[in-house]
Amino acid sequence: MVKGAGIYSRGGPGIGHMAWTNQQLARGKEVFKKRVCYHVKSLREIRRAQKYVRLLISRLPFMRVIKKILVNLYSMMKTTSFINVEWQTQALLCLQEAAEDFAIDFMNDAYFYVAHCHRVTLMAKDYVIVSRLRYKGPPSGPS
């Protein structure tokens, strides 16, 4: 890194988008770095995420949510016989994969609706419409 360079400096030669090599400095020529189009970068990130096969939600927080849901369910049922239930790891992983698949499909449907409306930004009303179309009833929660 160049001595005295700021924290946001790359420390390399050149100003802004120009890069200089020693040979070009000797010749007095400047070379511009090739700029990557924004959509190419986003497509590259999408491909990288598609190759990534791990789960999106980490296991421990998901397990905490499941246990909290079970405690609420058992309190509604007014029973204490299932409080110390132990889960198999395969059962939790299966439940987590199903939940992530549902969330991804739901968001994909919402993005299809966004594209249909010629918009880019996903809004809460898109989720409401997708839930109405999927389940053919009023959405749960405030609208």
With cut-offs at 50, 70 and 90, classify the pLDDT of residue 74.
confident
Asked whether 82 and 37 are in contact (CB, 8 A), the reply is no
Asked whether 56 and 100 are in contact (CB, 8 A), the reply is yes
Q: Which letter does DSSP use for residue 20 in this model? A: -
User: Above 80 in pLDDT, residue 48?
Assistant: yes
Domains contained in the chain, CATH given: 6-35 (no CATH), 36-135 (1.10.20.10)
18: its two tokens: 């120009």
Q: What is the mean pLDDT of residues 61-71?
A: 90
Q: Which letter does DSSP use for residue 56 in this model? A: S
